[in-house]
Amino acid sequence: MPFSKVSGRNNAHKVVVYALSTCVWCKMTKQFLKDNNVEFEYIDVDLCEEKEKARIREELQSRSGGLSYPTTIVDDKIVIVGFKKDKLKEALGI
Amino acid sequence: MTEITIETVLKRAEADARTYGYYLNPDPELLQGLLEGLKVNEERYGYPSCPCRLASGKFEHDRDIICPCDYRDPDVAEFGACYCRLYVSKEVFEGKKEPPTVPERRPLEKQSRAYLATSELKAETVEMQKVLTGKDTAKVVEPKPKLWYCKQCGYVVFRDEPPYICPICKAKREMFAEIKTLIEFVV
């Protein structure tokens, strides 16, 4: 399953959200980004194929040290675990 | 088979909260979202695994994250809410306390079961985790269950930590004491 893209006027940063389709905090993160017109990509890991999950595991663990959702990565360097409005605002300058 | 509805998921959570002295999240929108996630997981896997964690779909691997998960008691005791925030303490329910984002207490080794086993972690990744989390994930110390008794009613339970309240007489967790007596079996 590829990443889904949500377009937005606020596209200065590369924003990637690792999420679960069942997780309310992941939904809130996506909604928060939409409400702020932020362009982002997301992937619902629970709906991915096994091979894809394994790849995501490597990616998430090496970047955040854990496997928690949502994990938002801004510009390939700022890692935000959980739905944290303040951290998201700060990283995105909104 | 009985149909799984938001109502059945809610009823079960309410009953469990009553028995164990917890409260359900007071935010109606959040509660609805959590119940929907549980419903989807119950339909998908046959058991209501935590909506905020990735399940493997294998019961024996997901047993510890079936709601109410094994981590609820220590998380509510420490933070006032469980990992997904379905269950909260009285103080949080009454708005006297705002819980922080609850960190994942489930050992990484158990979390990894939801991912393909072939992808063994690279040594550098394990190194990186030590730096990021300050923990050596290669060595996971599992808590050992003990026998606890309620000093008020005598209820006895075998688990890692005393329960949040006594499910029988509702005494507070402080009323629990560890049973250290050595039991010898005479044949």
Chain A residues within an 8 Å CB radius of B121: 58, 61
Q: Is the pLDDT of residue B14 over 70?
A: yes
Closest partner CB to B116 (pick from A23, A50, A67): A50
B127-179: pLDDT as tens digits: 666 666 665 555 555 678 899 999 999 999 999 889 889 999 999 999 999 99
Between CA B14 and CA B25 the distance in angstroms is 11
Q: Which of B67, B69, B102 is CA-nearest to residue B85?
A: B102
Token readout for B129 is 């985790």
Cβ–Cβ below 8 Å for A22 and B101: no
Looking at CA atoms only, how far is residue B50 from chain A in angstroms? 9
**Residue B171, token pair as written in the block:** 């005494």
- The length of chain A is 94
Task: Compute the CA torsion angle B167, B171, B177, B178 (nearest 10 deg).
Answer: 10
pLDDT at B119 over 50: no
Q: Residue B79: helix, strand or coil by DSSP?
A: helix
Q: How far is B76 from chain A (nearest CA, A)?
A: 18
Per DSSP, the residues of A45-76 read GGGS-HHHHHHHHHHHHHHHSS--SSEEEETT
Contacts of B25 in chain A (CB under 8 A): none
* Neighbouring residues of A2: CB distance < 8 A, sequence distance ≥ 6: A43
Amino acid at A20: L
**A53 to B40: CB separation less than 8 angstroms, yes or no:** no
Amino acid at A48: C
pLDDT of residue B182: 75
Q: What are phi and psi of B50, to 5 degrees?
A: -50, 125
Peptide bond into B162 cis (omega under 30): no
To probe the interface with A, which of B38, B40, B52, B56 has the most A CB atoms within 10 Å? Answer: B52
The beta-strand segments (E) located in chain B are 23-24, 87-88, 146-150, 156-159, 176-178
Residue A83: closest C-alpha in chain B: B101
Cβ contact A24–B52 (<8 Å) = yes
Q: What span, in angstroms and rounded, lies between the C-alpha atoms of B15 and B72? A: 15
CA A1 and chain centroid, separation: 15
Closest CA to A29 of A90, A80, A93: A80
Residue of A nearest to B114 (CA): A53
In this complex, how many residue pairs, one in chain A and one in chain B, have their CB atoms less than 8 Å apart? 89
Which structure tokens are listed for B166? 């006594």
pLDDT digits (tens, 9 = 90+) for A39-94: 999 999 999 999 999 999 999 999 999 999 999 999 999 999 999 999 999 999 99
Condensed to tens digits (0 to 9), the pLDDT of residues B24-66 reads 999 999 999 999 999 999 999 999 999 999 999 999 999 999 9
Instruction: Tell me whether residues A65 and B129 touch, CB distance under 8 A.
Output: yes
Token representation of residue A26: 């992941």
Residues 29..88 of A with a Cβ closer than 8 Å to B: which? 45-46, 50-51, 53-58, 61-62, 64-69, 81-84
Residues B116, A54: C-beta atoms closer than 8 Å: yes
Output the pLDDT for position B132. 64
Global confidence as pTM? 0.82
SS3 content of chain B, % helix, strand, coil (to 5): 40, 10, 50
